Amino acid sequence: MRIRKFACLCLCLSFLLCASAGFAATKYIVGIDGDYPPYSFMDSDGKPTGFDVESVQWIANEMGFEVEIRPTAWDGIIPALLAKRIDMVYSGMTANDERKKVVDFSTVYWEIDQAIAVKNESTATFEDFMAGKLAVGTQRGCTAAEWIEDNLVKKDVLAADKFRLYDSFPAAVMDLEIGRVETAMMDDMIVLGAIKGKPLKIIGTIKTGEEYAVAIRKEDTELKKMINEGLSRLMASPKWEELKAKYEMQK
C-alpha cells in the first residue's frame, strides 16, 4: 500500500513539474529596431534597452511569459514577423492602414508627429521644407519616408535626388551635421533624442497624429489579447510614469 501511494505521489509531482516547466518555457521573440532611441536601442554593453524594451519586459513578467529581444533591420521587420522569425514588433511602430493589411496591432500606447531638424546656423524655414527647397534625409521603411514620398516627391514638390534614405535615423543625422542633407525628418521623440547635445534644432512639426502599437500576426489572437491586457496593466501602474520619466518622454 505504501509503495502504491509513493508511486502515486511521484506521478503527481512529475505532472506538476512538467506543467510548470511547460508554462515557464513560453517565450516570444520581440523584434526591435536596435538604433531607435528612446524606444529601442543597444546600451554600452550591447544589450537591448529603451522605453519599449523595458515595457515589454515588464509586461512579460506581469503576464507570466518570457521574451527574447531581437534587433532586426527595420525595412525587413514585418517580413520577419510574417515569416515567424519574430513573434511581435514592439519598437515605436505606427499602426497605419498599409501595415494593417498584413498584420494586426495591439491597443495604442503612444502618439507622435513628424519633426524636421536642421543645423543651428541654418536660416531655412519650415515653409522652405514644405516647398521642397531642402534636401532631406530619413530612415528607409519608416512613416517619415512614406510621408515625404507621398506628399512631396510624388507631387513634384521635392526633386527625387533631394530625398535620401538611410538604414537608421542616426545615420541621417550624421549626414545632416556634415552637410550632405539640409534637413532630417522623423518621429518627434526620435528627433528630440537624436539632436540632443548636437548643433541642431527643430524648425517645425507636421501634425500626423500617428499611433504606436505592437504589431502581431493576424492569426495570433491570444497573444494580442495578452499584450493588450499587459499594456492596460502597465499604463495603469506606477511603472508607466517611471519609464516616461527615465526616457524623457514628455514632449
pLDDT tens-digit map of 86-97: 999 999 999 999
* Size of the chain in residues: 251
The rounded distance, in Å, linking the Cα atoms of 73 and 35 is 10
Whether residue 3 has pLDDT greater than 60:
no
Whether residue 4 has pLDDT greater than 90:
no
pLDDT at 35: 92
Per-residue pLDDT, averaged over 172-199, amounts to: 96
47 with 88, same domain: the answer is: yes
pLDDT at 201: 98
Whether residue 13 is contained in a domain is answered as: no
144 with 221, same domain: the answer is: no
120 with 242, same domain: the answer is: no
The rounded distance, in Å, linking the Cα atoms of 100 and 102 is 5
Whether residue 203 has pLDDT greater than 60:
yes
117 with 194, same domain: the answer is: yes
pLDDT at 13: 45
The rounded distance, in Å, linking the Cα atoms of 212 and 187 is 11
User: Which domain range does residue 195 map to?
Assistant: 112-210
48 with 95, same domain: the answer is: yes
Whether residue 237 is contained in a domain is answered as: yes
Per-residue pLDDT, averaged over 14-34, amounts to: 67
Where b means 16+ CB within 10 Å and e means fewer, 117-150 reads: bbbeebeeeeebbbebbbbbbbbebbbbbebbbe
134 with 191, same domain: the answer is: yes
Whether residue 95 is contained in a domain is answered as: yes
Whether residue 15 is contained in a domain is answered as: no
Whether residue 9 is contained in a domain is answered as: no
Whether residue 188 is contained in a domain is answered as: yes
pLDDT at 9: 44
Q: How confident is the model at residue 25 (pLDDT cuts 50, 70, 90)?
A: low
The C-alpha cell of 119 is what?
Answer: 543645423
pTM summary value: 0.82
The rounded distance, in Å, linking the Cα atoms of 134 and 158 is 8
pLDDT at 251: 58
pLDDT at 21: 42
Whether residue 16 is contained in a domain is answered as: no
Domain count within the chain: 2
Q: Identity (one letter) of the amino acid at 83?
A: A
181 with 152, same domain: the answer is: yes
80 with 101, same domain: the answer is: yes
CB 116 within 8 A of CB 147: no
205 with 117, same domain: the answer is: yes
pLDDT at 84: 98
134 with 198, same domain: the answer is: yes
The rounded distance, in Å, linking the Cα atoms of 50 and 35 is 10
**What is the tens place of the pLDDT at every residue in 97-116?**
999 999 999 999 999 999 99
145 with 189, same domain: the answer is: yes
Whether residue 12 has pLDDT greater than 70:
no
Per-residue pLDDT, averaged over 16-20, amounts to: 43
CB 119 within 8 A of CB 178: no
205 with 122, same domain: the answer is: yes
Instruction: Supply the mean pLDDT for the chain.
Output: 91
Whether residue 10 is contained in a domain is answered as: no
Q: How confident is the model at residue 174 (pLDDT cuts 50, 70, 90)?
A: very high
Per-residue pLDDT, averaged over 25-48, amounts to: 94
pLDDT at 249: 87
CATH number at residue 132: 3.40.190.10
